[in-house]
Amino acid sequence: MTQLRITNGRVIDPSQSLDQVADLWIRGERILGIGPQPGLVADRTIDAAGMIVSPGLIDMHVHLREPGREEDETVATGSAAAVAGGITSVACMPNTDPPLDHQAAAEFIHLQARRAGNAHVFPIGCVTKGRQGAELAEIGGLVEGGAVAFSDDDVPIVSAEIMRRALEYCRMFDKPVLSHAEDLELTKGGLMHEGRESMRLGLRGMPAAAEEVMIYRDIELARLTGGRLHFLHVSTAGSVELIRRAKNDGVRVTAETCPQYFFLTDQELRRFDSNHKLNPPLRTQDDVQALIAGLKDGTLDVLASDHSPQAPEKKLRELDQAPFGIVGLETLLPISIKALLEPGHLTWPQLIEKLTIRPASILDIKRGTLKPEVYADVTIIDPAAEWTIDVSKFASKSRNSPFDGVKVRGRAHAVIVRGGVKYEQIR
Amino acid sequence: MPSLPRMTWDRPHLLGLEELTRDEIVTVLDLAEHFTHDSQERRKKRANLAGKVVVNLFFEPSTRTRMSFSLAARRLGADVLDFSPSGSSTSKGETFIDTAKNIEAMGIDLVIVRHAATGAPHLLAQHLQAGVINAGDGAHEHPTQGLLDIFTIRQIRGHLDGLTVGLVGDIAHSRVARSNIHGLTKLGAKIIVCGPPTLVPRGIEELGVEVSHSLDAILPRCDVINMLRIQFERQRSGLFPSITEYARLFGMDSARLKKAKPDLLLLAPGPINRGVEITPEVADGPHSAILKQVTNGLAVRMAVLHLLCGQPEEMA
């Protein structure tokens, strides 16, 4: 088996509370160990002087569009975009056509990911059959097929009874239910956050309360059932506060937010560019502050991208015609660095924790760590690399990013998946 | 025909009144003043837009705005094209921008666009070389309507400074309300927006207006009332219980008019829902400037067209 040595790097592995300059050794597909390995000879050595050596990053909220919308993205292109962004594992949402609501569909994702040979891809199964919100999907079969969590994604589960039963039933497999918290009646026809900007622009708003009433409902259902609940793309100050209180009460709840929600605000809509049309919508500066506070105190566990590719012809439309969503796999790391690390809100170990061991433990996957014997997924980050985000260079099939042209510092220098170097930035 | 004064103007587009300065608004009003004489002299044509091609790109129905723009452009000597989405390639699935680019490729100087989507004219302005005039985008702005409302008030009352203007009705879904607010506040008028709380967006005070939910309470203080139409096509249902109740609380009838100042000026952007916002005897009565607004609309649009792409008089 080939032996790979990554030397001189600052190894940060929050799963072992590790932050030191050391050698990382990989043998074949797996981690061998950290530190000197007497008598071992490396087949290849990567000099990581000045770099950060992190467990491979995880993005637990992406849309790969396959099957059904291959014009936007495929498992192959999406997992290539992941690797280009320094991400070695993704969990993909089941809002495909047909939806991932049965075992064969979950196994298809694994098959396509293996064929592509880029990042690891973990399917998220539907909570209900056809994402119709009426009957539970065959969750046991989906678990058998490799589903790591359950969600009806952007179709919120309207029935509190179904949500309750889903939380209860998933306990049997110790899988989390991922909640897209949105009261659909309050957001009907809405294009942006409801507030001063929507008032000025005359655009129909989506009030913060539409997210918060569902966050509150789902917390109470998790309290009632003891089920594991994870909130997707938390975007409001009120939501952060509700989750903070639930955690203090011991409810089994975790939460994520995305770079767009702590880096941009609803003022961007003044440009009428559909790359700022998101669901949940971009909120206000007060919400941005609350999200950052929630990331700092651990209320928000995870950074995820909500990667939502849309082919260019779909986004180049009038604002009310264009679909929601932005791509994010290739900007998750640099925008998080810019918005959280550079201003001093988070340290490197805190940032990396939210991109590695936290999502890994929520999904209960053996990833996000550099402990011996796990698959050797490693992201080597060059924290000094200065570059400008350029959508035309994305590996993703889609280009719908609001971050085009943003100057950033820090990017993946080399990405190793299962012991193989999948991506290397030429210095 | 009197010759036109020279005006300073450097905007290629007219997208809204929010971004115009007070001086720019006054420039349009002053130039429109000159064109009112043209309207009275009928058939006389100017040649300031000779050789220019203006296209009406209306994705929402319109009678007076579209006709007013067409006539204004013809009076200035332009060629006018009309585009309507039904029976066109948009019904075959062509996107808005592709449609506009294809029309522009025929050699267009100015596009006048109305669209249900907020920001559609701004999108065109980014993607086309031609000038763009917003003839109404969603519930955002309708700048020429705002300008003609302001022009009409100034024409009748002689000034705007210190006047109290009530905007009554469906503020939330009204592009006319937003353009009125941005324009009138810049010219020193005080604005009260008045309607049920379901039709007045929260936080609108920060645009510099007072909010009221009682027409009877504000009526004695107003010099001008602009009665906005209920935007049935833009609303979701359930924002007020019934049209009868709406008319009782916010409709203008002769009895309610008695509480107003004797010289109250009554505007309505039209089309009005007769019997809802305003009863027929009031609409046709002495306070009403509704038809005057339509006449002035022509002069205001000639002014805007001339500022955006007209040749100076001596070259014409």
Q: What is the pLDDT of residues B301-315, one digit of tens each?
A: 999 999 999 887 654
Whether residue B86 is found in the same domain as residue B178: no
Q: What is the CATH number of the domain that holds A133?
A: 3.20.20.140
Whether residue B164 is found in the same domain as residue B283: yes
Whether residue A254 is found in the same domain as residue A289: yes
Into how many domains does chain B fold?
2
pLDDT value of position B47: 85
Flag whether B235 is in a domain.
yes
Whether residue A229 is found in the same domain as residue A279: yes
Q: What is the CATH number of the domain that holds B59?
A: 3.40.50.1370
Is the Cβ pair A313, B138 closer than 8 Å? no
Whether residue B254 is found in the same domain as residue B272: yes
Neighboring chain A residues of B203 at a CB cutoff of 8 Å: 195-196, 199
Chain B within 8 Å of A198 (Cβ-Cβ)?
yes
Shortest distance between the Cα of A309 and any Cα of chain B, in A, equals 19
Is the Cβ pair A195, B97 closer than 8 Å? no
Neighboring chain B residues of A200 at a CB cutoff of 8 Å: 18, 178, 207
- The complex scores an ipTM of 0.86
pLDDT value of position B227: 94
The mean pLDDT value for B186-202 works out to 96
Q: Is the pLDDT confidence value at B233 over 80?
A: no
Shortest distance between the Cα of A233 and any Cα of chain B, in A, equals 26
Structure tokens at B60: 């929402």
Whether residue A30 is found in the same domain as residue A126: no
- Closest-CA residue to B58 (of B128, B133, B109, B152): B133
Whether residue B80 is found in the same domain as residue B208: no
SS (H, E, C) chain B: CCCCCCCCCCCCCECCCCCCCHHHHHHHHHHHHHHHHHHHCCCCCCCCCCCCEEEEEECCCCCHHHHHHHHHHHHCCCEEEEECCCCCHHHHCCCHHHHHHHHHCCCCCEEEEEECCCCHHHHHHHHCCCEEEEEEECCCECHHHHHHHHHHHHHHHCCCCCCEEEEECCCCCCHHHHHHHHHHHHCCCEEEEECCHHHCCCCHHHHCCEEECCHHHHHHHCCEEEECCCCCCCCCCCCCCCHHHHHHHHCECHHHHCCCCCCCEEECCCCCCECCCECHHHHCCCCECHHHHHHHHHHHHHHHHHHHHCCCHHHC
Chain B within 8 Å of A317 (Cβ-Cβ)?
yes
Is the Cβ pair B118, A202 closer than 8 Å? yes
Flag whether A96 is in a domain.
yes
Q: What is the CATH number of the domain that holds A29?
A: 2.30.40.10
Q: Is residue A297 annotated as part of the catalytic site, yes or no?
A: no
Flag whether B5 is in a domain.
no
Flag whether A390 is in a domain.
yes
Residues of B with a catalytic annotation lie at: 64-65, 92, 114, 142
Flag whether A355 is in a domain.
yes
Whether residue A158 is found in the same domain as residue A111: yes
Whether residue B302 is found in the same domain as residue B231: no
Whether residue A177 is found in the same domain as residue A261: yes
Whether residue B59 is found in the same domain as residue B111: yes
Whether residue B62 is found in the same domain as residue B85: yes
Chain B within 8 Å of A388 (Cβ-Cβ)?
no
Tokens 């201003």, located at residue: A343
Whether residue A166 is found in the same domain as residue A106: yes
Q: What are phi and psi of A70, to 5 degrees?
A: -65, -10
pLDDT value of position B42: 63
Whether residue A175 is found in the same domain as residue A98: yes
Comparing CB atoms, the residue among A196, A198, A321 nearest residue B117 is: A321
Cβ neighbourhood burial of B2 (10 Å; 0-12, 13-18, 19+)? exposed
Whether residue B168 is found in the same domain as residue B135: no
Who's near A295: CB < 8 A, 6+ residues apart?
A257, A262, A303, A340, A345, A346, A354
Q: Which 260-279 residues of chain A touch chain B by CB within 8 A?
A: 271-272
Whether residue A139 is found in the same domain as residue A259: yes
pLDDT value of position B114: 94
Domain range for B54 is 22-141+298-314
Flag whether A368 is in a domain.
no
Q: Is the pLDDT confidence value at B46 over 90?
A: no
Alpha carbons A293 and A304: distance in angstroms, whole number:
17
Comparing CB atoms, the residue among A188, A196, A318 nearest residue B236 is: A188
Comparing CB atoms, the residue among A198, A204, A313 nearest residue B95 is: A313
* Final residue of a structural domain among A363, A389, A416: A363
Into how many domains does chain A fold?
2
Flag whether B78 is in a domain.
yes
Whether residue B310 is found in the same domain as residue B266: no
pLDDT value of position B315: 42
Domain range for A414 is 3-52+375-424
Whether residue A342 is found in the same domain as residue A355: yes
Neighboring chain A residues of B118 at a CB cutoff of 8 Å: 191, 201-203, 272, 319-320
Neighboring chain B residues of A317 at a CB cutoff of 8 Å: 95-97
pLDDT value of position B316: 40
pLDDT value of position B91: 58
* 3-state secondary structure (DSSP) of residue A192: strand
Flag whether A38 is in a domain.
yes
Flag whether B128 is in a domain.
yes
CB hemisphere CA count around B27 (13 angstroms): 17
Q: What are phi and psi of A146, to 5 degrees?
A: 105, 10
Sorting pLDDT into bands at 50, 70 and 90, what band is B92? low
Whether residue B130 is found in the same domain as residue B168: no
* Final residue of a structural domain among A363, A398, A414: A363
Q: What is the pLDDT of residues B242-301, one digit of tens each?
A: 888 999 999 999 999 999 999 999 999 877 777 788 888 998 999 999 999 999 999 999
Comparing CB atoms, the residue among A188, A198, A320 nearest residue B116 is: A320
Flag whether A369 is in a domain.
no
Whether residue B306 is found in the same domain as residue B196: no
Indicate yes or no: pTM above 0.90: yes
Flag whether B17 is in a domain.
no
pLDDT value of position B314: 52
pLDDT in tens, chain A (427 residues): 899 999 999 999 999 999 999 999 999 999 999 999 888 999 999 999 999 999 999 999 999 999 999 999 999 999 999 999 999 999 999 999 999 999 999 999 999 999 999 999 999 999 999 999 999 999 999 999 999 999 999 899 999 999 999 999 999 999 999 999 999 999 999 999 999 999 999 999 999 999 999 999 999 999 999 999 999 999 999 999 999 999 999 999 999 999 999 999 999 999 999 999 999 999 999 999 999 999 999 999 999 999 999 999 898 888 988 999 999 999 999 999 999 999 999 999 999 999 999 999 999 999 999 999 999 999 999 999 999 999 999 999 999 999 999 999 999 999 999 999 998 876 5
Structure tokens at B193: 């927006």
Q: Is the pLDDT confidence value at B230 over 70?
A: yes
pLDDT value of position B43: 58
Is the Cβ pair A320, B118 closer than 8 Å? yes
Shortest distance between the Cα of A200 and any Cα of chain B, in A, equals 7
Type of residue numbered A248: N
Distance of CA A14 to the CA centre of its chain: 18
Flag whether B234 is in a domain.
yes
Whether residue A161 is found in the same domain as residue A290: yes
Flag whether B309 is in a domain.
yes
Whether residue B28 is found in the same domain as residue B101: yes
Is the Cβ pair B178, A202 closer than 8 Å? yes
Nearest CA in chain A to B59: A318
Q: Is the pLDDT confidence value at B87 over 60?
A: no
Is the Cβ pair A319, B139 closer than 8 Å? no
The mean pLDDT value for B175-189 works out to 97
* Final residue of a structural domain among A314, A329, A363: A363
Alpha carbons B64 and A103: distance in angstroms, whole number:
60
Q: What is the pLDDT of residues A43-68, one digit of tens each?
A: 999 999 999 999 999 999 999 999 99
Whether residue A43 is found in the same domain as residue A84: no
